[in-house]
Amino acid sequence: MSHRLFVAIRPSEDAMGAMFDVMDGIEDARWQDETQLHLTLRYIGEVDTPQANDIADALSRIEAPAFDLELRGLGHFSKSHWPHAVWAGVAHSPELLTLQKKVERAVVAAGCEAETRRFLPHVTLARLNRSSGPIGDWLARFGDFHVGPMHVDSFLLYESTLTPSGSQYDPVVRFALSGKANLK
């Protein structure tokens, strides 16, 4: 059986509430719902069940302290000069960068290819397409977005399932930053 996996931090309830407050003002944007908001530490992709178990085992051995994190600013990703996603940025955090590097090492140790893309911490708020309205007014209106600090005491291994209405993200295992895994 194949599993489409990624590793992420789930934002606090307060942070999610603040993100929902800015989810308006872009015509035809596909805003993320509560189950879709996350800060990706590592996209893994399709793996079989034995490798998924190896990944979970490797992640369970990560030891890192809990830390505080702030969301700051909004931005967008573009393809061919067209915005395709808007996001909430993450303030610089040495603890987050350390955790992300440990996650990367664990995933590679479990047999996955090394990630070649630079880590750009963010939380995707909406997906856009060419029929979506302009984003300039939205960025100007909410550009001073700031949330935090929010306490991060765990990260999760998620399974992503593609559905006709978009991706569904299901937490599989929660890892306390002390390194202990608790089944979700």
88: part of which helix (H) or strand (E)? strand 82-90
Q: What is the pLDDT of residue 179?
A: 44
DSSP 117: S
The overall pTM is greater than 0.85: yes
92 labelled catalytic: no
Q: Which of 38, 76, 81, 151 is catalytic?
A: 38
CATH for the 2-183 domain, from 3.90.1140.10, 3.30.9.10, 3.90.209.20, 1.10.150.450 = 3.90.1140.10
CB atoms within 10 A of CB 70: 15
Q: What is the pLDDT of residue 182?
A: 45
Q: Which of 3, 122, 146, 151 is catalytic?
A: 122
Q: How confident is the prediction along the chain (184 residues), in pLDDT tens digits per residue?
A: 899 999 999 999 999 999 999 999 999 999 999 999 999 999 999 999 999 999 999 999 999 999 999 999 999 999 888 899 999 999 999 999 999 999 999 999 999 999 999 999 999 999 999 999 999 999 999 989 999 899 999 999 999 998 887 789 999 999 999 744 444 4
CA count, 13 A, side-chain hemisphere, 47: 22
Q: What is the pLDDT of residue 166?
A: 77
Cβ(128)–Cβ(84) under 8 Å? yes
Q: What is the pLDDT of residue 80?
A: 84
Q: What is the pLDDT of residue 175?
A: 97
Domain boundaries, the chain: 2-183
- Using CB atoms within 10 A of its CB, is residue 73 exposed (0-12), middle (13-18) or buried (19+)? middle
Separation CA 119–CA 129 (nearest Å):
24
122 labelled catalytic: yes
